[in-house]
Structure 1
Amino acid sequence: MAGYFNDQGEEKTDHPPAIVEDSERFVQSFRSHINNIVMFIFVNPFIRHYIPFFKGRSDESLRNVKFLYDKVDSIIKRRREEIENTPLDKPLPHDMLTSVITANTPRDINYTKTVGGESMDRPMTDLEIRHIMFDAFIGGTDTTANMISFIVYYLAHYPDVKRKVVEEIDRVFQDDKTRPITEKDLHQFKYIDAVIKEVDRVFPVSNMLQRYGAEPDEIAGYKWPRGTMFQVNAVSIHKNKNYWEDPETFNPDRWMVEGFEPKKYSFIMFGGGLRVCPGRKLAMIELVALTALIYRKYDFDLVDMEAPLQVRSGIISACTQLLVKVKSRN
């Protein structure tokens, strides 16, 4: 990619091709990991360990995870060394990795010794940081990217909805195509927020959630032993007639009704309960901002309006291909 960029563009990149290729492998490994998770959820351990095809896939998945762990560990180690070598009177970068490394240390800008009465004076270990960053990478990359693809698809199929989105964008930005987006802007994009929620309702990126029963329980008249894994079908919940009026209809306006609030657990875009997505607010900021910024300057039409949305379903619904025609809104 770096070589192509240098050959084709007037600007030159300082990144050698080897670094770009390594970065591509890193990103691809995360995508492979997401796809491979399904096998560890649904395939019996005996089959994974002893049946040749499944054992090969399982071993490959474990090698992939080791590669990811090693990469993330090296990133953490390098950043920790940079922090330790930075004078105390010099500010540190404002990023997630720096924040979790310095958490509960004197270099933490939000340093506090207690939270809810529990001592919080222990910094996190590299292992804890690794898993936090791992969750952030997995939960905050493909999900957001696929959601944007689904938004483009539905706006192309519903021109009246797209018109309202563009009108809201032009009203907030005052037809300025270049100024940076602000926090104040984000609070004004009410209709874009409604569109995002409605797209996820009719076509959820996270199509199923997993929960383990911590104790024996009785659900729907059946007794379930401790340790049972439950698959929560988000698609069925989001289109349940008991919770939604005209559930099969794509209608962002339902979210614009004053005082509207979906029934508890009838909309699980970010899960729910104690395991609700910790990055849900950041995800909505990203989705609202990106939708506003791209439709501020560009319009998108599908190459084939009759073509169904092409997805691969696993832990998430991943858009495998979306051919669009991009036009400037000048």
Structure 2
Amino acid sequence: MILILLLLIFLLCLIGSWIYLLRDSKSYNIPGPMPLPIIGNGNLFLVDSSEFLQILSNLAYKFGDAYRVHILHHRYIVLSHPKYIEEIISSTETITKGKSYYFLRPWLGDGLLTSTGQKWKTHRKFLTPAFHYNILHSFLPVFLKNEKILSEQLKRRADGSLIELFPIFALAALDNIAESIMGVSFEAQKDRESKYVKAIDDDVLFALTPYKRLQDKALAVLHNHTKDVIEMRRQQLKNTSANKLNQNSEIGMKNKHAFLDLLLLAEVEGHGLDIESIRDEVETFMFEGHDTTASGLVYGLYCIAKHPEVQRKILEEQMEILGDDLERDPTFSELQQMKYLECVIKESLRLYPSVPIIERLITRDVEMSGMRLLKNSSIVINIFHMHRNPNVFEDPLEFRPERFDVSSSFKNPFSWVAFSAGPRNCIGQKFAMLELKVTLAALVRRFKILPGKREPQPCGDLILRSQNGVQVKILPRN
């Protein structure tokens, strides 16, 4: 009798769930696959991360550039065309990140990536000057120094053997962001066994797994190290009697502690930021400026390796700008003149965007871009598919840097959103572009880059990685 009763309750739950999901699906004017009871369309996504992006693309080919799916009882609207995303991504209202970002909170807290509302607006406003165009000059020596260390690391392997790029470039990117954001050098490229370097690797891994004890151990190392750096700089500012950003020419925007000083000296409603808020912002930028740039460097070098004609043009451009002495460091102005290299970087980010998918949460019922969107729906902007969408780009799988030439123009500026767009665009995109230019330009000057034997299998994680790695071969350039 009890067994029959339990079975009856189970059947009622199935029927109730299915009725709810069917009604919810019909409440949208957006097509999509029929949901199953309880799991919705979750069964479609029980795949390896290397298949996830292809599943999303297959659904787009079947249902169009705007479709809906349910994971359990949660609604997702997946968009892959600028005509749908422009109004949403431009809105000052739809700025709340989706639920997929929650697993980052143990590490990043309520920093700029995960926060929303007035806190996000306030922090975004006072952090923006740290990435002003004029401030980028102070980052250039850091990038040049770490690029030389990277080149020395690669020179030892410049014998035509296969090189796995991600582990090497991740350390270079970590050195760049740490010294730029914290004002201290970790020398990760020279000491990859340091506790901080290993903790970053561990937390990125364990944030995606149930190994909470190991994640907590990694987080303790990260948080303690960040607090030590913050306290050290706070004491230095105290010793100079600095309490305002414009009080002393040696603080704020005029030294390598620009970002950290902004946080330490900023005031919100007459009060300074607490240590947790400062730590959250520092670690947010450590995360955002580390893996994303590493991905951009890796796939950029991969695309250069695959296209020798492109590589030749990059080198010729540098010869025109730098003259006979290709061993000297380019100036900031000379880097800005490398327009073809910039087109190459943008085209590699089109095919391999560092962040393949972004997500927003709808906080009230609204109609946008001709779609009825209900409160608590998640909007998934599939950057990876949109950048390869034949309805958006002609011959989308061809690598053609000329697409980004100044004489060319897209039908919609929201066709290319490798750094997102609108109010929540990447605050550090000029920083990232400068780092990409410095590093890739130097590697092409010093080495002949050759392709590996296999195509990468991009993974639909938070950062675009590859299931089978990304490999190239290099030889010294005479």
TM range (shorter): 0.7 to 0.9
Cα 1:22–1:148 change in 2 (3 A) is closer
Q: Is the contact made by 1:35 and 1:315 (CA closer than 8 Å) also made in structure 2?
A: no
Alignment partner, residue 212 of structure 1: 361
Match of 1:318 in 2: 465
Structure 1 residue ranges without an equivalent (≥5): 6-14, 40-53, 106-118
RMSD in angstroms over aligned alpha carbons?
A: 3.1
Distance 1:87 1:120 in 2: 21
The aligned amino acid for 1:181 is P
Please list, as runs of the form range in 1=range in 2, the aligned pairs for 1:134-283 lying within 5 A after superposition: 134-218=283-367, 223-261=372-410, 263-283=412-432
Distance across 2 between alignment mates of 1:255 and 1:224: 33
Q: Any conservation in 2 of the 1:34–1:138 contact (CA below 8 Å)?
A: no
SS of the residue corresponding to residue 415 of structure 2 reads coil
Answer with 135-144 or 293-302: which moved more. 293-302
In the alignment, the residues of structure 2 paired with residue 298 and residue 22 of structure 1 have an alpha-carbon distance, to the nearest angstrom, of 24
> 1:29 and 2:199 equivalent?
yes
Alpha-carbon distance in 2 for matches of 1:160, 1:297? 17
Larger radius of gyration: 2
What is the CA–CA distance in structure 2 between the aligned matches of 1:35 and 1:226, rounded to whole Å?
A: 32
Q: Displacement of 1:58 after TM fit? A: 4.2
Matched residue, 2:238: 84
Instruction: Check 1:188–1:121 CA distance in 2 against 1; reply closer, same or farther (3 A cut).
Output: farther
Q: Secondary structure at 1:309's aligned position in 2? A: coil
Change (3 A) 1:61 1:80: same
| CA displacement, residues 136-183 of structure 1 (integer Å, 9 cap, x when unaligned) | 111111211221111111111111111111111111111313322212
Q: Which has the higher contact order (CA 8 A, sep 6+)?
A: 2
User: CA 1:167/1:225 → structure 2, altered by over 3 Å: closer, same or farther?
Assistant: same
Match status 1:57 vs 2:211:
yes
Change (3 A) 1:313 1:63: farther
Q: What TM-score, normalized by structure 1, do the two folds share?
A: 0.74
- What's the offset of the Cα at 1:312? 4.5
Residues 214, 65 of structure 1: CA spacing in aligned structure 2 closer, same or farther, 3 A cutoff? farther
**Pair 1:120–1:100, CA change in 2 (3 A):** same
**Contact residue 207 and residue 233 of structure 1 kept, 8 A:** yes
For 2:196 and 2:377, the matched residues in 1 are separated by: 33
Task: Kindly report which structure 2 residues correspond to 1:99-138, keeping only aligned pairs within 5 A, or say none.
Answer: 99-104=261-266, 122-138=271-287
Moved more, 190-199 or 211-220: 211-220
Report what 1:74 is aligned to.
228
- Asked if the contact 2:264/2:278 (under 8 Å) is kept, the reply is no
- Would the aligned equivalents of 1:35 and 1:314 in 2 still touch at CA under 8 Å? no
**Structure 1 residue 310, shift from structure 2 partner:** 5.3
- The AA in structure 2 aligned to 1:165 is I
In structure 1, how many angstroms separate the alpha carbons of the residues matched to 2:258 and 2:318?
A: 29
Instruction: Give the aligned residue type for 1:329.
Output: R
Give the superposition deviation at 1:219: 5.9
- Displacement of 1:324 in angstroms is 3.2
User: Could you tell me which residue of structure 1 aligns to residue 477 of structure 2?
Assistant: 329
**Aligned equivalents of 2:218, 2:377: Cα separation in 1:** 28
Superposition pairs for residues 285-300 of structure 1, below 5 Å? 285-300=434-449
Question: Within 1, Cα distance between the matches of 2:282 and 2:320?
Answer: 37
SS at match of 2:414: coil
Q: Provide the secondary structure at the position in 1 that maps to 2:381.
A: strand
- Any conservation in 1 of the 2:195–2:221 contact (CA below 8 Å)? no
Kindly tell me the number of residue pairs found equivalent between the two proteins: 283
Q: Which amino acid aligns with 2:196?
A: F
Q: Secondary structure at the match of 1:265?
A: helix
Q: Structure 1 residues 231, 67: closer, same or farther in 2, change over 3 A?
A: farther
Percent of counterpart pairs with the same letter? 24
Secondary structure of the 2:391 match is coil
The match for 1:114 is none
Q: CA deviation at 1:314?
A: 1.1
Q: Classify the secondary structure of the residue corresponding to 2:194.
A: helix
Deviates more, 1:61-70 or 1:219-228: 219-228
Counterparts of 1:270 and 1:129, CA distance in 2: 24
Task: Tell me if the contact between 1:34 and 1:315 (Cα under 8 Å) persists in the aligned partners.
Answer: no
The letter for the 1-side match of 2:200 is F
The one-letter code sitting in structure 1 at the alignment partner of 2:324 is D
Offset, 1:125: 2.9
* CA distance, structure 2, for counterparts of residue 285 and residue 312 of structure 1: 26
Match of 1:301 in 2: 450
SS at match of 1:165: helix
Whole-Å Cα distance in 1 between the matches of residues 357 and 441 of structure 2? 28
CA contact (8 A) 2:388 2:396 kept: yes
Residue 23 of structure 1, CA deviation:
6.7
